[in-house]
Amino acid sequence: MVKKIFSIFIITLLSFSIVSCGISKKNVTKAREQKAQNEVLQKPSVETKKDSAVLKDEAKDKVSNTVNDTIYINTENLDNTLYSWGMRFLPNHQTPEITPLAMSLIKKYDAIFVGDTSKKVVYLTFDEGYENGYTPKILDILKENNVKAAFFVTGPYIKQQADLVKRMVKEGHIVGNHTVNHPSLPTMPDEKVKEEITKLGDMFSELTGKEMRYFRPPKGEYSERTLYLTKSLGYRTVFWSLAMADWQPLPGGPEESYNTVMKRIHPGAVILLHAVSKDNALALDRIIKGIKAEGYEFKTLDDIK
């Protein structure tokens, strides 16, 4: 009788052990599957130490040669407050003031608004939303004065002015990205922002065989989220420290264009001029000569470290 009871006890104990092992194995398997799933879905911190070139290359390798891999671009915790680029101009050729927040974002995302402020150097840039007939003359003047500039172009500009874009490249100028359709990027979802930028870059590469490296936000509107996306796509954002309302005719004509630039010029100035302006086109030769006469040297965005 005792043996029988003992046998039943042993069988019962073994049954519980087998069931427990089964449950344990299921839990381990489930935990491993959950861990694997988390590893796939886990996105990197915004504070990633990888630079934009590495991010771009990894994203291209990971998802069919595109840079749209959300594994590498996480904006969920980034501020998307829309800001319009602006500054307070100071007298006596001092560097304009920007807000502490703007300065912190400039530093965090390696953007540009001034160059080397310790030397009398300036950087000339043009925005090209559309062609108004003045860019050929602008290119002639730059060539005559041996000055290299940067031109930020849009999708319609590349399509309609392919020869001018090719000429810019041939004559040693930088051609930058101003998006396909010139929208306010902070109002758009991530995929649309990336599409606006990457499609314009593709259009330029197909036309010239070159790659774009610099980006200027349409309308000067940005957020921390769009600065992060831009850098993650391999671009350096370029704002400006000297500009005027020259996308429309200036009340004082070419004289006002010249006087405004000469009054606001400062060491390290990133000058923004709109190429659609007749006043700028007429004043450009005088502006360049006036800046040189003040002891300044023209550099390019590539010289800004």
| Other C-beta atoms lying within 10 Å of the C-beta of residue 7 | 10
Element (H, E) at 27: helix 2-41
The CA distances from residue 139 to 65, 76, 130, 285, in Å, are 35, 43, 15, 11
CA-to-CA separations, 260 to 94, 101, 162, 195, 242, in angstroms, rounded: 14, 27, 32, 36, 9
* Whether 274 is catalytic: yes
* Cβ contact 185:152 at 8 Å: no
Structure tokens given for 264: 């606001």
Query: In this structure, are residues 174 and 150 in contact, taking their beta carbons and an 8 Å threshold?
Result: yes
Catalytic residue among 173, 178, 182, 274: 274
- Any idea how long the chain is? 305
Closest by Cα among 116, 110, 129 to 234: 110
d(CA 199, CA 197): 6
**Nearest CA-CA partner of 228 in 32, 59, 80:** 80
User: Is residue 183 a contact partner of residue 217, using CB atoms and an 8 Å limit?
Assistant: no
User: How far are the Cα atoms of 141, 148, 256 from residue 282, in angstroms, in the given order?
Assistant: 10, 18, 11
Q: Which of 127, 190, 246, 279 is catalytic?
A: 127
Distance CA 221, CA 196 (A): 14
Q: Phi/psi at 127 (nearest 5 deg)?
A: -100, 135
The question of whether 140 is a catalytic residue gets the answer no
Taking the C-alpha atoms of residue 185 and residue 54, their distance in angstroms, rounded to an integer, is: 24
- Spatial neighbors of 193 by CB under 8 A, at least 6 apart, are 185, 226, 229
Residues catalogued as catalytic: 127, 274
